[in-house]
Amino acid sequence: MMNARALLRNDIRQMLKDPMLLASVIGPLAVFVFVRYLFRPLSVWVEERYAFDMMSHAEFAAMLLLTVIPLLAGVMTGLLMLDERDENLIAYFAVTPLTRKGYYRYRLLLPSGLACLMSAVYLLFGGIVDVRVEMLYPLLLTSAEAPCIALFLAAFAANKVEGLALSKLCGLLFVGPVLVFFVPGPWQAVGIILPTYWPSESYLQAASGESGLAAVTFGIGAAYHMLLLYIADRAFAKRMD
Amino acid sequence: MIEVKGLEYAYPGAARKTLHGLDFHIGRGEIFGFLGPSGSGKSTTQKILIGVLKGYAGSVQVLGQELRRISPDYYERIGVGFEFPNFYAKFTVMENLNLFRSLYSVPTEDPGRLLERVGLGDAVNFKVSQLSKGMKMRLNFCRAILHRPQVLFLDEPTSGLDPVNARLMKDLILEMKAQGTTVLITTHHMQAAEELCDRVAFIVDGQIKLIDSPRQLMLRQGSKTVRVEYRKGEELAAEEFALDGIGGNAAFLQLINRYPVETMHSQEATLEQIFMDTTGRSLT
């Protein structure tokens, strides 16, 4: 716990010195502010001007924007890990009471916890969709996405520049909610390899009153996220060795 | 303090072992040097001793603990200075030390005082990216001893240091020894080993070929003679004399009385020569 506090202080200091990292924290706040204060006035304006009802797509917007939060938290952590890996600092942490295991634990729980907290605030207080207990499904699943993204960057990028390039590839994750909300039945199967497919699908099923099916989808999604986490963890461990 | 018996290690997936049954003992307050060329297994041995590699065969006990079963507390008692002194480059010297200091629960040194001792008192607020390699090496040493470790592992501690700072570093290591700290140095710099180590082990192809004090090795493997270089007219001449009974050696006495002597050296072996003779390999 003491070590986690020390590392957290260190991360905050790093964020304050690096505008890109700072943007990763400000980004989710901007998403929340947009949803809470700008989405409704914007939809009124769009409806008046273009006769398009944005509010009828509020659930899609909520899920799409929810994808942004773990993406930013994961990218931020991934870039921090890349820096620490390239500077060989992980080797130094490994020979302190923190240990390598403690370092990993902190680095994976940080984005997960951040994503969970910020997503919860976003869903509970965003105000564009009704609060229901099934919101826990997308909340938990997207929280598991953040450490996957962090490990993916840290394992596959050779350096920070490559890390930034790979983080752009993570933009593909936005396709998940699009498939769920706009692509008809069988074609949605294409999306099952995207982790973001599962939170949107479970949420949509719950919103349609199919609670049992939503729970099953959540279960499959959770198992898939765990598998991705395991693969990314192995890849990172191999890279470190 | 450190007790190693029959240590063997093979990296996962490797066809052959890197270490082939090492046996050695290092006592409290001893400075022990692991010498060997790149790829000899000395870094692997150090990684095992600092608890980073665990899948070894044999027994490795440090501070009474078998390293397969160590807990994070082990790192409260050992200090490690790797060869490459890496830090958070955007942070200051003090911010870096404070970060690492906060990872320990045991009493730690005052970083400001440590920095003064290694000549970095004026660099406290410098960003690490502004430091030279030599300054980083000294900072690296400070990080390794922040928590007053009982055993200190140093990899190439004088690498990248100018002669003045190399001397400073050696003095600090000797100071640690005087305080009872056991120091294990991994290096291929023979001179540093000769000056610092109570005992050295030559490791080649994962085996210890020789283990003893540098002085004993140098005397045992050298020739018991003295070589005198002297000026004979315009010519520079040299002669060797047996050390035994040199006080009564008429030829020797006549030479030093008759000709201007320019140099006079006993012919003990150098560590580098011993290494090459023993292993048939050079220290590269």
By the 10 Å C-beta count (0-12 exposed, 13-18 middle, 19+ buried), B185 is classed as: buried
Name the 3-class secondary structure at B98: helix
Q: What is the DSSP string of A111-130?
A: HHHHHHHHHHHHHHHS-SS-
The candidate with the shortest Cα–Cα distance to B18, out of B193, B185, B144, B205, is B205
Q: How far apart are CA A118 and CA A30, in angstroms?
A: 11
pLDDT in tens, B48-101: 999 999 889 999 999 999 998 899 999 999 999 998 888 999 899 999 999 999
Chain B residues close to A100, C-beta within 8 Å: 52
The candidate with the shortest Cα–Cα distance to A130, out of A201, A55, A191, A52, is A55
Which residue is it, tokens 């240590």?
Answer: B7
Fold of B2-214: Rossmann fold (3.40.50)
Q: ipTM score here?
A: 0.84
Can you give the pLDDT at residue A32? 82
Contact in structure between A199 and A142 (CB atoms under 8 Å): yes
Partner-chain contact A95 B72, CB within 8 Å: no
List the single residue in A2, A6, A88 with the smallest CB-CB distance to B86.
Answer: A88
Report yes or no: A22 at the B interface, CB cutoff 8 Å.
Answer: no
Q: Which of B87, B88, B142, B148 to mutate to test the interface with A (most CBs of A within 10 A)?
A: B88
Chain A residues close to B87, C-beta within 8 Å: 87, 89
Contact in structure between A114 and A26 (CB atoms under 8 Å): no
Chain A residues close to B82, C-beta within 8 Å: 88, 91-92
Partner-chain contact B82 A88, CB within 8 Å: yes
Contact in structure between B1 and B30 (CB atoms under 8 Å): yes
Can you give the pLDDT at residue A17? 82
Contact in structure between B253 and B246 (CB atoms under 8 Å): no
Report yes or no: A178 at the B interface, CB cutoff 8 Å.
Answer: no
Can you give the pLDDT at residue B282? 61
pLDDT in single tens digits along all 284 residues of chain B: 899 999 999 998 888 999 999 999 999 999 999 988 888 888 899 999 999 998 899 999 999 999 988 999 999 999 999 988 889 998 999 999 999 999 999 999 999 999 999 999 999 999 999 999 889 999 999 999 999 999 999 999 988 888 988 899 999 999 999 999 999 999 888 888 889 999 999 898 899 988 999 998 888 888 889 999 999 888 999 999 999 999 999 999 999 999 999 999 998 888 888 888 877 766 55
The candidate with the shortest Cα–Cα distance to B214, out of B169, B276, B151, B274, is B274
Chain B residues close to A5, C-beta within 8 Å: 102
pLDDT in tens, A180-202: 888 887 788 888 899 999 998 89
Q: Domain of residue A67: give its range.
A: 2-240
Report yes or no: A10 at the B interface, CB cutoff 8 Å.
Answer: yes
Chain A residues close to B51, C-beta within 8 Å: 95
Can you give the pLDDT at residue B217? 87
- CA-nearest residue to A2 within chain B is B103
Partner-chain contact A95 B80, CB within 8 Å: yes
Structurally, chain A folds into a number of domains equal to 1
Name the 3-class secondary structure at A37: helix
Which of the residues in chain A have pLDDT under 50? none
Chain A residues close to B86, C-beta within 8 Å: 87-89, 91-92
Q: B-contacting residues of A 75-94, CB under 8 Å?
A: 87-89, 91-94
Q: What is the DSSP string of B108-139?
A: ---HHHHHHHTT-GGGTTSBGGGS-HHHHHHH
The candidate with the shortest Cα–Cα distance to A59, out of A184, A173, A193, A180, is A180
Phi/psi at B56 (5° precision): -100, 165
Partner-chain contact A91 B82, CB within 8 Å: yes
Q: Residue A71 — left, alpha, or beta (φ > 0 → left; ψ -120 to 50 → alpha)?
A: alpha
Name the 3-class secondary structure at B146: coil
Chains A, B: CB pairs < 8 Å = 62
Q: How far apart are CA A88 and CA B88, in angstroms?
A: 10
Can you give the pLDDT at residue B230? 94
By the 10 Å C-beta count (0-12 exposed, 13-18 middle, 19+ buried), B227 is classed as: middle
Q: Where are the domains of chain B?
A: 2-214, 223-267
Say whether pTM exceeds 0.80: yes
The candidate with the shortest Cα–Cα distance to B102, out of B151, B145, B146, B149, is B146
Query: The tokens of A1 are what?
Result: 């716990």
